[in-house]
A and B are shown apart, each in its own frame.
Chain A
Amino acid sequence: SQQGEEDPQALSIQEGENATMNCSYKTSINNLQWYRQNSGRGLVHLILIRSNEREKHSGRLRVTLDTSKKSSSLLITASRAADTASYFCATDHNTDKLIFGTGTRLQVFP
């Protein structure tokens, strides 16, 4: 399967702490994307990083990409209870198919 795999599967932290999630994939990509899904809702796009980029920031989010290791990480700084959600990475593998990983469930306690 080309599916990416997120690690850890689940993560519990206190408000104010940082949360780091990792995504590994198997074949070369054109871009890698991160999405958030609140319980029972549709997915919301967070960040897209292209294969020639190494790091991108958006507010409290920082994404890194290491194409040599075929991995990416999503860092959420100063977490809030509202960040509680599932987070997914998605990769295109240089095709027109966007394949999602299995997700990390993040719980942020007040």
Chain B
Amino acid sequence: NAGVTQTPKFQVLKTGQSMTLQCAQDMNHEYMSWYRQDPGMGLRLIHYSVGAGITDQGEVPNGYNVSRSTTEDFPLRLLSAAPSQTSVYFCASSPLAGGPDTQYFGPGTRLTVL
């Protein structure tokens, strides 16, 4: 099993550009989520999904869209990139057991917005 994979590993954008961060898992997990981590900080939840076709907002959803058309994939779209979105983005997946269970994290995407 590859676990949770994220692409790209690094990305530089100009203000106003849009892009999609890819996340895929091969563990048949119902729960998937996106976090951002700013330097020296903890993780903040952007969006999450409890199954295909179901998504919801986390703590900091503004400026981001998600969709979950399959169990395996959970892409994160930046609609119009801003310098404040410079961060490291982590995708995670887990089984659901009355709530999010043990999270398996991807390696992260380091995004810089100029």
The residues of A with any CB-CB pair to B shorter than 8 Å are 1, 3, 30-31, 33, 35, 41-45, 48, 88, 90, 92, 94-103
- Asked whether, in the complex, the Cβ of B105 is within 8 Å of the Cβ of A42, the reply is yes
- Pick the contact of A45: B48, B102, B108 (CB < 8 A): B102
- Asked whether, in the complex, the Cβ of A42 is within 8 Å of the Cβ of B107, the reply is yes
Closest 6 CB pairs of A and B: A42-B105, A100-B43, A98-B100, A102-B42, A92-B99, A30-B99
The closest CB in chain B to the CB of A98 belongs to: B100
- Asked whether, in the complex, the Cβ of A98 is within 8 Å of the Cβ of B103, the reply is yes
- Asked whether, in the complex, the Cβ of B90 is within 8 Å of the Cβ of A42, the reply is yes
Q: Give chain A residues whose Cβ lies under 8 Å from the Cβ of B107.
A: 41-42
- Could you list 29 examples of A-B contacts with CB < 8 Å? A3-B42, A30-B98, A31-B99, A33-B102, A41-B108, A42-B105, A42-B107, A42-B108, A43-B43, A43-B105, A44-B105, A88-B43, A90-B103, A96-B31, A96-B56, A96-B100, A97-B45, A97-B48, A97-B59, A98-B48, A98-B100, A100-B35, A100-B42, A100-B43, A100-B44, A100-B45, A101-B42, A102-B41, A102-B42
The residues of B with any CB-CB pair to A shorter than 8 Å are 31, 33, 35, 41-45, 48, 50, 56, 58-59, 90, 92, 98-108
